[in-house]
Structure 1
Amino acid sequence: MFVLLHVRRRQHHRSRRLLGVDVLDRGIAEATISISSYRVESPGVEGVGLRTNQFRADNLDSGSFSRVAEEFLLASRISRWDREFAISVMDYFGDPMIETYGKLDQDTYVEGDVLDLPPSSVARMAVSEAIRQRRTRRYYTGDPLHLADIAALMRDTAGITGAGDVEKSNGDHVRYWYRAVPSGGGLYPVELQFVALNVRGLDRGVYRYAPRRDQLVRTGDAETADALVASVSTPEDDLNPEAAAGIFCLIGHPWRSMRKYGPRGLRFVLHESGAMAEHMHLVATSLGVGTADYSSFFDDDANDALDCDGLSRLVLHMVLVGVPSE
């Protein structure tokens, strides 16, 4: 105890000299000394094998490891005189791209794999009330949801909500289809899939929502659904996905946006994913259904389960849905 007090007194006197003042607020001095006394000093970043995120944050100026997230922020900036960006964007206002826009997500698939959706469940409250009541629901009873609830969530998250005609240079018009969420450039690079675990009227499996036809396309069986659930990394006492009725997966197609906007387009993909998740939470709240954002999944496992390569097509985010137990 004597040695510790002696060391703290010496640090206290030294701090007064370094600050160049005769009187130092005692509370600040003691706090500074305490923090300094117990601070772990690094032997050098290069000598540390296990580097936690906190360790990286405390050693940002070391230059000893990559900072890829910040590199993305720099790469996705738009400068005032970026002619390449401007020309790339303008290309999408020509007739060929106008035609392409009109054909976005115009599905062709085997009819036997398609399921019709029932009418949507009716919301029980106004949007303003849903905003006030929205909460993350991590635990579920294991009871099934009705397919009508899932239909409402899909339509209000990724469904077609309107249409407009765009004129070409020759005077002809192309029909554009608008959706429930905003999308950078109207490119809609985020696809909605649903992993059905316990839904009345829907077999256990994986389904893709086809917005142009307002139908489900079966893309995986019960084994595929089980593989996706196995990619969840959260302990069961924090979340119980097995008791959920299903898991919505937001699948990104970055180059659909990046072909027009370059690295900036990836920001738009993430914006859209967030907007879709928020729509889902508010609609679920209005229906009395529980939801929870979930991004703590093992990426390689989730991508493999849904046949994504992780780059041109990848799992961006998940939202659990079920009957809340809280």
Structure 2
Amino acid sequence: MEYLESQRSWEHRKSEEERKVAAFYRKQQTDGALERSKKYSLAEKVILKPSWDLLSKSLGQVLASRKTTSSKALRPLNFAELSTFLMASSGLQRSLPGADPSREWQRTVPSAGGLYGAEVYFFCLNVDGLREGLYHFQPEEGVLERLPWKIQDDDRDLVFSSANAREAQKTASGLIMITGVFQRHRRKYGHRYLRFCMLEVGCLCQNMDLAANAMGAGLWHQGAIDEGRSRRLLHVDGQQESVLHSALLLGAG
């Protein structure tokens, strides 16, 4: 009942533009609220091709060398590096060398109840072997789904909204955006859903840090998110699904 009342209140407050965005969002994707991952049926699918040799460092070496990498001496990532980064961060465990084949749907990132409330989007700017555009990472199929809507010029400004990000324009590969689909955890954990969703996002960010550092790539987490512009870019309504975090993915050195 509380959830339905909040939904009615949200519908009442939404502007005409926000209602159009929400309608378009629902049309372009399958209903992912009760699935482990959204699937965009109209999107072009790009199969990821990870190169696991890029992760040859030991965990101890990665932890000892962990740092926020400067952008000055980096080159943009190539497609194999991006594929490895995404699959290592939140891909299916069975895709990794030496994995237990019986773990059919479990991912490299933990999630309360195995519900996986976090979704990963990638705004590609400069990756060798991948067209510029907005993508959704679909871990169950190991693909990037190229979202069908047009990118506006001011959408690119969203990536470099902070002073640090503007310094990295020449070496930035793209922007990672993480959303939370709240109903996945809410249906099992009730009022504690946000706690579990945020915990999952935190674990996902740690995986990204480890993967990026193992490859010698840069990753800058951004605490200041333009939530309105981010929601419009991803076509999420901010109520059932909202942008929770973003990180600038730099190149490798």
Q: What TM-score, normalized to structure 2?
A: 0.75
Cα distance in 1, alignment partners of residues 126 and 206 from structure 2: 23
Question: Hey, what does 1:230 align to over in structure 2?
Answer: 158
- Range moving further from structure 2, 225-234 or 150-159: 225-234
Question: Hey, what does 1:113 align to over in structure 2?
Answer: 44
**Structure 1 residue 323: Cα displacement:** 2.4
Deviation per residue, 1:7-50 (Å, 9 max, x gap) = xxxxxxxxxxxxxxxxxxxxxxxxxxxxxxxxxxxxxxxxxxxx
Give the counterpart of 2:116 among 188, 197, 204: 188
The 1:239/1:268 distance shift into structure 2, 3 A limit, reads: farther
* Counterpart amino acid of residue 176 in structure 2: F
The 1:275/1:225 distance shift into structure 2, 3 A limit, reads: farther
Cα distance in 1, alignment partners of residues 150 and 72 from structure 2: 20
The 1:141/1:215 distance shift into structure 2, 3 A limit, reads: same
Matched, 1:148 2:80: yes
* Counterpart amino acid of residue 76 in structure 2: P
Deviation per residue, 1:102-145 (Å, 9 max, x gap) = x63374624x6111112335214111111111112353557321
Kept in 2: contact 1:302–1:315 (CA 8 A): yes
Report the secondary structure of 2:220's partner residue. Answer: strand
**Structure 1 residue 256: Cα displacement:** 1.2
The 1:134/1:264 distance shift into structure 2, 3 A limit, reads: same
**Structure 1 residue 263: Cα displacement:** 2.1
Cα distance in 1, alignment partners of residues 40 and 49 from structure 2: 21
Kept in 1: contact 2:159–2:175 (CA 8 A): no
Kept in 2: contact 1:205–1:224 (CA 8 A): no
The 1:311/1:289 distance shift into structure 2, 3 A limit, reads: same
Cα distance in 2, alignment partners of residues 176 and 118 from structure 1: 19
Give the counterpart of 2:143 among 210, 215, 219: 215
Instruction: Report sequence identity in percent.
Output: 28
Report the secondary structure of 2:37's partner residue. Answer: coil
Deviation per residue, 1:47-84 (Å, 9 max, x gap) = xxxxxxxxxxxxxxxxxxxxxxxxxxxxxxxxxxxxxx
Asked which structure has the greater CA Rg, the reply is 1
Deviation per residue, 1:214-271 (Å, 9 max, x gap) = 01100156725851542654225x7535331111111111121112112211111101
Aligned residues: CA RMSD:
2.8
The 1:108/1:249 distance shift into structure 2, 3 A limit, reads: closer
**Structure 1 residue 321: Cα displacement:** 1.3
Cα distance in 1, alignment partners of residues 153 and 245 from structure 2: 16
Cα distance in 1, alignment partners of residues 184 and 207 from structure 2: 22
Figure out how many residues of one structure are paired with residues of the other and give that number. Answer: 214
Question: Hey, what does 1:267 align to over in structure 2?
Answer: 195
Cα distance in 1, alignment partners of residues 86 and 183 from structure 2: 23
Matched, 1:135 2:70: no
Matched, 1:299 2:230: no
**Structure 1 residue 310: Cα displacement:** 1.2
The 1:140/1:263 distance shift into structure 2, 3 A limit, reads: farther
The 1:151/1:201 distance shift into structure 2, 3 A limit, reads: same
Q: What TM-score, normalized to structure 1?
A: 0.59
Kept in 1: contact 2:45–2:145 (CA 8 A): yes
Kept in 2: contact 1:121–1:148 (CA 8 A): no
Report the secondary structure of 2:208's partner residue. Answer: helix
Kept in 2: contact 1:191–1:251 (CA 8 A): yes
- Pairs within 5 Å for 1:285-324: 285-323=213-251
Question: Hey, what does 1:276 align to over in structure 2?
Answer: 204
Kept in 1: contact 2:48–2:142 (CA 8 A): yes
Report the secondary structure of 2:105's partner residue. Answer: strand
The 1:318/1:220 distance shift into structure 2, 3 A limit, reads: farther
Cα distance in 2, alignment partners of residues 300 and 274 from structure 1: 22
Cα distance in 1, alignment partners of residues 225 and 105 from structure 2: 33
Cα distance in 1, alignment partners of residues 225 and 40 from structure 2: 31
The 1:304/1:223 distance shift into structure 2, 3 A limit, reads: same
Report the secondary structure of 1:191's partner residue. Answer: strand
